[in-house]
Structure 1
Amino acid sequence: MQKTFYQFLMTKRNPSSRDAIAEFANNAFYDQSFPKQLTDFDTISKYLEENAGYLPNMGIFDEVWKQYEEDR
């Protein structure tokens, strides 16, 4: 069974890290509206652009998405 993007992102959590990807994952964990069941780039990207004030730039998402694609 394919992991959702959220499931993959949660493997990047590290509350004591200042790494941008870890901070993205930590903040997404607390985002009650995050689309947890999706695997679609466009839908997740749109959600983040419109709702994720905690994500300083979309380049971080793009980097994690690339890792997610390589992991699938």
Structure 2
Amino acid sequence: MKRSFYHYLMTLRGPNAADEIQVFANNAAKDIQFPKQSDSYEEISDYLEMNVDYLSNMDIFDSVWQKYLENNR
């Protein structure tokens, strides 16, 4: 079964937020509005662009999305 992007993102959290991906994951974990069941790039990208201020650069999302696709085949 294919897991959601959120589920994958939660595997990237870290206690020290050592890099921007961990910061993204940690903040997404606190975001109660995040589309947790989605595996749609467009839906998640639109949500992030329109609703969050914790993601400083959409390139971070794009990078994590590519890793998600590679790990979710």
TM-score, normalised relative to structure 1: 0.97
Residue 52 of structure 1 corresponds to which residue in structure 2? Answer: 52
Q: Measure the CA separation in 1 of the matches of 2:15 and 2:28.
A: 12
Q: Between Structure 1 and Structure 2, how many residues are aligned?
A: 72
CA offset digits 1:6-40 (Å, max 9, x no partner) = 00000000021320000000000000100000000
Which stretches in structure 1 are left out of the alignment for 5+ residues?
A: none
Alignment of 1:10-49 (within 5 A): 10-49=10-49
- Cα drift, residue 50 of structure 1: 0.5
Letter paired with 2:16: S
Q: Measure the CA separation in 1 of the matches of 2:30 and 2:55.
A: 13
- Cα drift, residue 52 of structure 1: 1.4
TM-score, normalised relative to structure 2: 0.95
Q: Percent identity?
A: 51
| Cα RMSD after superposing both structures | 0.6
Contact 2:17–2:26 (CA<8 Å) still a contact in 1?
Answer: no
Contact 2:6–2:37 (CA<8 Å) still a contact in 1?
Answer: yes
